[in-house]
Each structure stands twice: as C-alpha cells, then as structure tokens.
Chains A and B, each alone.
Chain A
C-alpha cells in the first residue's frame, strides 16, 4: 500500500490541514503544538502508526477548518522533521510544504527557567534558537533537549 492510499483511507476534509509523515507515535504532540484539545470543536482525524513506504510507520493528522501558522509549522519541525503539510481548500490540496528546521522559534515555547525575563509578564515573545539537538532561550540561555512539547505555550 502506498502513502497516497493510506492518506485516502483517512476521511477527506473540505477545508483545513493535513499533516502527513509525522514520526510514528507523535500525532498527539502535533495536536498539542497546534493547540487542539477537542474543546474548540474542530473535526480532527488521526492515523497513528500506519504503514509507510518511506518511514516504516507514520502518523497522519487531519484538521478541518484550520490552517497552520508558520510558527506552528516551525515547532512541528522540531518533533516531526519529516512532516509534510498539505493545505486543503474545497477538497483540493492547494499548498504542499515540507517542514524545515527554522533558525529560531518565536512565541511558541515557554522558557522553563522561572527566573527568565520572558516569564515576568513583560511585553515580549519568547524566542528560542534551534540547536542540532534542542532549543535555547535567546534571553536566559536555558537549553531544552528533552520533551519539547511540554514547553508549548498554553
């Protein structure tokens, strides 16, 4: 079965985003990144650990009525480096992107250092530089290597 077949098997959406080639088992983290917990009413379909020619196993996330922002895609790249993003309008794929590792992610992650100025109610967005194996706060230098998704701003 090809990737295309697998994608078709999960129900089609009219308008929204299909995030394909997510690292197997990371789909729930992807939803966390884009801030979807079900309470917003979006229709979401998930395929987890489905067979993939390219990846062995992969996850697919389809979100009805929602297009991802660049900063969301940026953070996504940190946990799902092989993901492809398909923007769907009227059942057609109108844009298709591979995620790329950004140099920095802005306004998406919270700094785990309680004494960091970004946690002090100042009018600034967090900014993290992307390292080979983690991210680093541009304000206080704190490095996060593990469990990035736990630091996503709520």
Chain B
C-alpha cells in the first residue's frame, strides 16, 4: 500500500484493503507481541469532538506497536476556542508527532488538513463524511464471519448521515457484493453516495422495510437512527421501531446471518440478541485495534 494519508475509503483499492486486513490478522494472533515494531513513535490524537471508542482504539493500537500518544485534550481548553484554524493546529502538531489521528465535526476537514502536513494523517471521522478506519474494521469483521466475496449485505438505519455507511458501501464495491439499503424514506442514501456507487458499478437495491430481504442476507449492518435528525417527534416515532431488531425479527433470517453495528447502540438491537453466535458487534469493536495497528504500521 502506497498512501501518505488515510482520508477516505474511496482511496483504497481491493489490494490495499486486503493488505491491511492480512496484516491486521497477523497482529490479531499476538497483539501484545508487537511492541518492538515502532518504539518511540508518537501518534497525536487531534479529536475535535468526543469519541471515546475511536480515540481509545487508536491509543491502544499505537501503544501495542511500542509507541505512545500525545493528546490535545478536550477542545474547550485548546487554542481552537481562541479561533485558531485547523490548518494552523495540524501544522503545529506536525512538529510534535509522527502521525496524526483527526476527528473533526466538519466534512472535508481531513482532506484539508492533510494538504498542510507531511506526517501521515488518519481520518477518524469528518462530520457526516467519511470514516475509513471504521470501514476497515468493518471489512475485517465481515471477512472473518462471512467472507468478502459472493456476499449479500443489508445496511439498515440512518443511511443519510451515517458516515460509516458511506465509507463501507463504497469499499464493498471492490468485492463481489450485493448491497441492500434499508431505511425510512427521509434517511435514504445521499445523492453523492449514490453517484459513487453508480460509478463503481455497485449492485444496489433500496427498501423501506427489512422483511423482504432478510432471508437473503449474509450480513445485517444496523446503524442508529438519531432522534435529533427528525424535525418532528411524531415522524421519528413512526419509523423508529421499524428499524430495530429483536429475536422475533430474526426468525426468517439465515442461521449464519452475521449482525453488525458500529456502536454505540441505543435500542436498535435488543440485548437478547447479544448472546447469539451471530452477534458480532462487540468483536467488531475489538477489531478496531489490530486494524488500526496495521494501518499505523504501514504509514509510519
């Protein structure tokens, strides 16, 4: 893989993805045995909005590789509140660290920031835009449970604002996959994502309910529908329950259906499902560490 930065899932070819996943699998077999790989390297955590899990998994990944983190701390105490631009902030951090993991509330922030620095930048989520490291851990999880070719996946929930969905659906076009998108009308895929999927020649279908497609699925990827996305509480109440799953919902599912969720969940997945063999969302979260280790190893 030859990349200076990891900004979007769109930049990753099938070969890139497989290289990352293969190395992640190697690390996964011995997570604590990798400390001699990057001793002394520093990863800066530039998190402009809270994200416990992405941040902790980046921190764990660099420490497992023998490196360490520097952290700018909560935004409210940083120079950002004094009006410093992001462009300036990353140029300053570049002088301290060997790589930067950036989480920022605005779309395109990672692309812009990368233009100002020479150290590798990893996009840890830019607004409703992209979240490529999440995509790679999603792909890692899918590959382990269902394989990445001849795959039928259902992606359900908030497809409009869900950046993990945008990154994942694009990355899946590198493989032999059929993608079913299940959402309320008001939270369908945005125009730019449809455009990309069309350009990539993806096999895509859209639905307003899970029922009809459930039996065909190898993977069901559930995302959270955020109440605040709806202008009207009634509108939210009308759709919310339809996109939640419980044991009864799954009666028509294939026995080996793998259920995923980028977490945190609220009530999209009934806790009764957690004990099923098919519930992979906690493994999925753990997979963030070996996958981010692999990415850091390739970039540093």
Contacts and interface: CB of A to CB of B under 8 A. Distances in A.
Interface of A: 113, 115-118, 120-124, 131, 136-143
A141 B167 CA distance: 12
Contact of A115 (B106, B111, B112, B191): B106
A122 B48 CA distance: 15
Given A117-B107, A117-B126, 11 more contacts: A115-B127, A116-B108, A118-B108, A122-B85, A122-B86, A123-B87, A124-B115, A131-B195, A136-B195, A138-B111, A141-B107
Given A122-B85, A122-B86, A141-B129, A117 B192 contact: no
B105 interface: yes
Given A124-B112, A139-B112, A141-B192, A113 B107 contact: yes
23 contacts: A113-B107, A115-B106, A115-B127, A115-B128, A116-B108, A117-B104, A117-B107, A120-B86, A120-B106, A122-B86, A122-B112, A123-B87, A124-B87, A124-B115, A138-B108, A138-B111, A139-B111, A140-B106, A140-B107, A140-B129, A141-B107, A141-B196, A143-B192
Interface string B170-204: 00000000000000000000011001100000000
Interface SS, B side: mixed
Nearest to B129: A140
A136 B105 CA distance: 20
Nearest to B127: A115
Nearest to B166: A141
A139 B127 CA distance: 12
B294 to A, nearest CB: 26
Nearest to B130: A141
B87 A115 contact: no
A116 B107 contact: yes
A128 to B, nearest CB: 12
B85 A115 contact: no
Contacts of B85: 121-123
Nearest to A124: B112
Contacts of B196: 141
Given A122-B85, A124-B87, A136 B108 contact: no
Q: Could you say which interface size class chain B belongs to?
A: 20 to 34
B169 interface: no
B57 interface: no
A117 B191 contact: no
A143 B195 contact: yes
Given A116-B106, A120-B106, A122-B86, A136 B192 contact: yes
B108 A143 contact: no
B109 interface: yes
A117 B112 contact: yes
Nearest to B128: A115
B191 A139 contact: no
B223 to A, nearest CB: 19
A140 B115 CA distance: 15
A140 B130 CA distance: 9
Contacts of A139: 107-108, 111-112
A143 B189 CA distance: 13
Nearest to B199: A131
A94 B291 CA distance: 60
